[in-house]
Chain A
């Protein structure tokens, strides 16, 4: 142990003496690891967002299809499903998208019937709407539109302007869920969305046990012609697969970059400068064994790899969670403009981070073994004469 610490101490000193080369290698490694990590972090963060979203969905969502597209569903359909065994509750929901010209983007308007548990958002300022034209909006939207509690906003619908009064703003654990959200009483939501009384966007079905979902889906199909039923568990799995695939593809595209860097590092580590050759000669001459030189050189590589990989990870974290991953998020999210901006909740799996560092450190140290061995094999006779 004492020997290893002494050799590590020597290796760190050697890296300081060859600062330029060390920084170049660690910087290159940080860049490649940063690309990898950014892809992984972003994929994980987005998957996490969607999983949160899926977890808050009803067990089943029933839609009505007309000509293969989702259409409004009569609220009365809810009563036809309530007596299916294991169905605990059926709620008609009014929600939809409203295109804000000023934002050049859709926002989601959700009708809130007083069931705060089902809505599952955390009010940051003010409260949720209780009556009339009151609305609560997501903090992202609030920031983007410059709206605060007590402000009024008007949206043109069918030739008239419908005014709403902001009574609350909320964040949510899921940025995807809250970023573009406006919550209103159901009647007010209908007016903004142009949904007639007696109709709903879909039906939210809660079950006593999710395991019965396949049976209930069959029953719903039998009772409501043209119904499409979305199973929460299947949606969650779809999100996982979608982002695993996208993240995997991104990582796959980066493999050649890592391979190229390792090759470059091998070339760079293979070439010994005069100063390095002389230094190894001195070490051999003063009684260092080949294994001592080899271990010291491998410690140098390990330090470069750990520092480079850790720096890459930190850079990736900053790029994804502080800068919102410009460029990469478009590729992974699948859309180019999301307004309000999506602030992903920072999440870093320590196991994954350690695995990533290990996955880089091990091959980097491995490719340095041969150059290290060649460097360490300076024979004492050559060392003595100052030649190789």
Chain B
């Protein structure tokens, strides 16, 4: 990665067309996220946070504009190249898609490695190390549905980090968590940032958005950046 921003979106627009109706989920947004910072996208439901997160992670193709990750233009990558990019350079944690039920926590963490031939001994060691670090040592072999909300979120973060990605993107990482669990997740994100990870989290939770340790908060409304 060069010395430039870890993620850059330039005049990016994402337009959805439903019959004759057009909706700009993200409208002409430009941002540069420097490497090693923790950013928060905040705003009410429908403000375009999650779509912008998807654009930053090459998960959603923009209708116009340009997206760069680590200095590479990924705007027009073909689907399989975008998949590889996501797999190798980006870690995702989603609110609605956390762990696969009836799989153990360890199996869930190793899931991203299956398409490249499965987990090697060193991968398993890393997964255990991450889970221990995130306070899930006792739950390593537990089935995922037996975990609390906070534990699930931490396990999902561990999974996102299994490939040591350059960028970590999270959607509502503290939603539905009680204060203790939410604080644990925020602490964890700050720790990861301090170790050099670039992190962007979309949230409407003030416990994360208003934490003093966050480097920058971007406020969105109706697909546009209104503050930050």
Residues on A close to B: CB < 8 A? Answer: 2-3, 5-7, 9-10, 13, 17, 275, 278-279, 281-283, 285-292, 296, 380-381, 383-386
Contact = CB atoms under 8 A, between A and B. Distances in A.
A283 B83 contact: no
Given A2-B118, A279-B100, A287-B87, A386 B94 contact: yes
Interface stretch (B31-39, B109-117, B130-138, B186-194): B109-117
A381 B111 contact: no
Nearest to A10: B114
A287 B118 contact: no
A17 B50 contact: no
Given A278-B100, A290-B79, A384-B96, 4 more contacts: A6-B116, A287-B112, A289-B84, A385-B50
Contacts of A10: 114
B60 A17 contact: no
Contact of A287 (B86, B96, B98): B86
A18 to B, nearest CB: 9
**Overall SS of chain A's interface:** helix
B54 interface: yes
A380 B112 contact: no
Contacts of A386: 94-97
B54 A384 contact: yes
Contacts of B94: 285, 383-384, 386
Contacts of A283: 111
A39 to B, nearest CB: 39
B50 A9 contact: no
**Overall SS of chain B's interface:** helix
Contacts of B54: 380-381, 384
Interface in B23-51: 50-51
A278 B97 contact: yes
B83 to A, nearest CB: 4
Given A3-B116, A6-B114, A6-B118, A281 B97 contact: yes
B41 to A, nearest CB: 14
Contact of B80 (A279, A289, A296): A289
B114 A381 contact: no
B117 A285 contact: no
Contact of A380 (B59, B100, B103): B59
Interface in B57-110: 59-60, 79-80, 83-84, 86-88, 92, 94-103, 107
Q: Nearest 8 pairs between A and B by C-beta?
A: A386-B96, A287-B87, A6-B118, A2-B117, A292-B115, A286-B112, A380-B59, A289-B83
Interface residue range, chain B: 35 or more
Contacts of A275: 101
Nearest to A295: B115
B115 A13 contact: no
B117 A286 contact: no
Contacts of B87: 286-289
B159 interface: yes
Contacts of B97: 278, 281-282, 285, 383-384, 386
Given A285-B94, A290-B79, A386-B97, A7 B59 contact: no
A384 B171 contact: yes
A371 B97 CA distance: 22
Contact of B50 (A285, A288, A290, A384): A384
A5 B100 contact: no
A50 to B, nearest CB: 53
5 contacts: A17-B100, A285-B97, A286-B92, A287-B83, A383-B94
Nearest to A5: B118
B116 A282 contact: no
Contacts of A288: 83, 87, 112, 114-115
A13 B97 CA distance: 19
A380 B83 CA distance: 9
B47 to A, nearest CB: 14
Nearest to A19: B102
Given A275-B101, A285-B92, A290-B79, A384 B59 contact: yes
B117 A3 contact: yes
B59 A381 contact: yes
Contacts of A7: 114-115
A265 B171 CA distance: 37
Of B53, B100, B102, which is in contact with the most chain A CB atoms at under 10 Å from its CB? B100
A69 B22 CA distance: 91
Nearest to B112: A286
Contacts of A381: 51, 54, 59-60
Interface in B123-170: 159-160, 163
Nearest to B165: A287
